[in-house]
Amino acid sequence: MPYPITDLPAETWARLPTRQQEQALIEAAAARYGVGDPATLVAAPGTQALIQLLPRLVPKSRVAVLGPTYEEHAHCWTRQGHDVTVVSDFQPADVTIVVNPNNPTGKLLTPGMLSRDRGLLIVDEAFVDFLAPGASLASNLPTNTIVLRSFGKVYGLAGARLGFAIAEKTIADRIRDELGPWAVSGPALEIGRRALSDAAWLKASAARLMTDGVRLDTLLVSSGFEILGGTALFRLARHPEASSLIDKLGQHGIHVRRFAREPHWVRFGLPANDTEFSRVAAALA
């Protein structure tokens, strides 16, 4: 269920975004994420823009990506000429990248496991929002750490393109400089500010996702899937016939993620409404 967009002022479209509009967004995000110093928070046109940018801030490095995980991290660091290894556990490196909780497995590392000195640490917290606040590093940032937070996933507004980096001020300043002025659209600044300030909507959304998650689990288990993991927003499940079931789901208009190296895995996003639940059920029947 996307955050409702109502009565966007015409000037959010017509005018270049102002510093005040950006600052208002940053303050709402700082309050929402528990970030003490707004100067350590940077807004970007989507987390992907930050994933593209970070490999350019660092000289050629040995990069360890905890995986298997979301592939854009390894992809972008490799393209910028870094020496990238996907590792199953921490190992010495100049830069370590963790998606936490992990996508697609849902595996969650505690702040204590992350807060050890290992060179630069990048923690992509795209799916942390519906966990207890202590799961995020945002409010208590270890040194030499960059945290990424997603707006679009949490608020159902992936098309708006908005995400955040949280890092000590010198790193945050560099990210801001590289993004340049007016990086985030006027409408995204306005919608972001409203949504991030709206605790009631987030609470209601969390409750709904909990119910929908149980409903999806029930449906998947009764269809012969084993639930391997997930987060509030998706489930990773295994089925011996995964490949043909993915095709059937597609024919019913349900697009799930498949994994080349794990042919029995399927990642299901939470169906958005009853119609989508019915389609999933029909495809798996």
Residues that bind a copy of itself (CB under 8 A): 2, 5, 10-17, 45-46, 48-49, 51-52, 56, 72, 76, 79, 152, 156-161, 177-188, 191
Q: Dihedral, CA atoms, 37, 38, 44, 50, nearest 10 degrees? A: -10
User: Residue 91: which residues within 8 A CB-CB, separation 6 or more?
Assistant: 64
- We find the least distance from the C-beta atom of residue 103 to a copy of itself, in angstroms, to be 14
Q: How far is the CB of 179 from a copy of itself (least distance, A)?
A: 7
Q: Measured from the CB atom, is 92 or 159 closer to a copy of itself?
A: 159
The minimum distance between CB 25 and a copy of itself, in angstroms, equals 13
Q: Show the tokens assigned to 137.
A: 């590093």
Residue nearer to a copy of itself on the CB measure, 94 or 178: 178
* Cβ nearer to a copy of itself, comparing 76 with 120: 76
Q: Report the distance separating Cα 174 and Cα 35, nearest Å.
A: 18
CB of 184 to a copy of itself, least distance (A): 8
Backbone angles phi, psi at 216, to 5 degrees: -65, -45
The nearest distance, CB 257 to a copy of itself, in angstroms, is: 13
Residue closer to a copy of itself by CB (options 88, 275) is 275
Min dist CB 56 to a copy of itself, Å, is 6
Long-range contacts of 131-139 (CB under 8 A, 24+ apart): 131/101, 131/231, 131/232, 133/34, 135/100, 135/101, 135/108, 135/110, 135/111, 136/33, 136/34, 137/111, 137/166, 138/33, 138/34, 138/35, 138/166, 139/33, 139/34, 139/35, 139/36
The nearer residue to a copy of itself, 160 or 249, going by C-beta atoms, is: 160
| Cβ-based nearer residue to a copy of itself, 68 or 152 | 152
